[in-house]
Chain A
Amino acid sequence: MGIVFYAWVHRVGLPSGRTKRLLLTLLLVLPLVTAAIPGRSDLAFAERVAWFNSARLADVPLGAGVYLYHVAWFLAGLLIVLAIWQEVLPSFRHPRSAQADLPEWLLPQVRERSGWERCGVAVSPLSSIMLATGGWPGRPRLIVSCGALVSLSAADLSLAIAHEHAHWIQGRWWKSHLLFLARLIQCYHPTALWAFREYCVEEEIACDAVSVAGRDPAPLVRILLRIYQETDPRDVAARSALRKRVDVLMNGGPRDNALPAATIAVAAGLMLLVLPWIV
């Protein structure tokens, strides 16, 4: 189904925005719903009723006692290790930070934002531009790097903080964390990996749009380009996401209603209709 959505999104040239986020959400959640259908995992269903039984493909011999399912297991194992290394471990590894180096003017600027009245702020010793948030709703925490404090003007810093703040409004924190859970349940699945990463980029794009709403996007573009220059060229994924964010900002921002609700409903219905028959 991932292939279907990928091909469709490219075919209709779906721009970044709410529609794309909704489709990615469906792609992450609906397989969990159809997987829970009773009897779907039975051998009799797989062999006699299902449209496609992946176990047949997995049992194809490759020679020397190796079967295709050995390759599938290896790839699934690799994806699980990748998910733990790139997604789970970083959440425990917070950037080193200290409250003491905090500039006096920063805290009021952060806490004046709705929902951030009790937000903790810390400074990371990193020399590159870095802003990140952590914590829980009701007790958020903003981390600003020394590099960001030194090299960003007050207006640019306010813009970057507005972007981080956007992650905590309109239910974005809950949505992204619930989807992260759906992604972890399917941590062995390449489609889930792709869909969640795409969703994260789309979230960044949405937060960019909130932070520059009613303003000139050029300052944020400049900040993103500076971060792009500071990013290790080997970090292809991060650089690609930054390029995409810049492209969207330069082209007038995301389009939230790129497809009518009825079309999305049909896509979801089609997915619910098709997925149970593929085991």
Chain B
Amino acid sequence: MDRLKSLFSLLLITASVMGVLRVVHVSIPMVFPQTRQGLVDVGSLAEVRRLAGFAPLLPAYRPALLGEQAATMTFAYHPQPTFVIVWRAGDQYLSVTQQQGGPMPDHPPLAQPLEAVPGSTWWIDGTRSRVILERGQFWILIETSLPPRELTRFADTLTPY
């Protein structure tokens, strides 16, 4: 009986401590959203403003073949608040990464400004085209498997959701 009692108290104490730890784990990000580590799946575009505190910038022009609905939407608090949205159809995709502040995303030294698009730096990496845009406090990285000429149209039609 004593044996059972000592085991029961061990289980009870462990469960209590684990319960407290879980409450702390779950409640801290509610009070301090920036404490959340890693990527967070975003359910809807409206949720981005609540999570990030800024409106997502999306290209109003998107080829119909990519579909209307985004394949994935994720948000990261670290190291900079960053929202990533990806449209995908088979091998073709379009990804927009919106980073608030911080250093300019990495780019090769031979990257060039995109003609007629101010604050842009673009380059081709194999079959992928990429452009970095400076828009106020944000760095926008657009990456696509579509032809490079589409980058200008994506950049020109960026609008807040």
Contacts and interface: CB of A to CB of B under 8 A. Distances in A.
A47 B38 contact: yes
Given A51-B18, A52-B24, A57-B28, A8 B38 contact: no
B24 A270 contact: no
A8 B28 contact: no
A53 B37 contact: yes
B1 to A, nearest CB: 12
B32 A278 contact: no
A33 interface: no
Interface string B1-42: 001011101110110011001101100110010111111000
Given A263-B3, A278-B21, A11 B34 contact: no
A96 interface: no
B13 A52 contact: no
Say what secondary structure dominates the interface of chain B.
helix
Contacts of B37: 43, 46-47, 53, 55-56, 59
Interface bin, chain B: 20 to 34
Contacts of A259: 3, 6
A59 to B, nearest CB: 4
Contact of B22 (A43, A44, A51): A51
A157 to B, nearest CB: 41
Contacts of A270: 10-11, 14
Contact of B13 (A7, A60, A263): A7
Contacts of B34: 59, 61
Nearest to A44: B38
Contact of B36 (A7, A12, A47, A50): A47
B82 to A, nearest CB: 14
A82 interface: no
A266 interface: yes
Interface in A230-260: 259-260
Given A56-B37, A262-B3, A11 B32 contact: no
Contacts of B28: 56-57, 60
Contacts of A59: 32, 34-35, 37
B134 to A, nearest CB: 26
A57 B28 CA distance: 7
Contacts of A44: 38
A278 B7 CA distance: 21
Contact of B38 (A11, A43, A61): A43
A12 B11 CA distance: 13
A11 B34 CA distance: 38
B9 A56 contact: no
Contacts of A262: 3
Contacts of B38: 43-44, 46-48
A270 B25 CA distance: 21
A267 interface: yes
B35 A4 contact: no
Contacts of A55: 35, 37
A170 B42 CA distance: 60
Given A48-B38, A51-B22, A278-B21, 12 more contacts: A8-B13, A12-B9, A47-B39, A53-B37, A56-B24, A56-B35, A57-B24, A57-B35, A59-B37, A259-B3, A263-B6, A270-B10
Interface of A: 3-4, 7-8, 11-12, 43-44, 46-48, 50-53, 55-57, 59-61, 259-260, 262-263, 266-267, 270, 274, 278
28 contacts: A3-B17, A4-B10, A4-B17, A7-B17, A8-B10, A11-B9, A12-B6, A43-B37, A43-B38, A46-B37, A46-B38, A51-B25, A52-B22, A52-B25, A53-B37, A56-B36, A56-B37, A57-B28, A59-B32, A59-B34, A59-B35, A259-B6, A263-B3, A263-B10, A266-B7, A270-B10, A274-B14, A274-B18
Interface of B: 3, 5-7, 9-11, 13-14, 17-18, 21-22, 24-25, 28-29, 32, 34-39
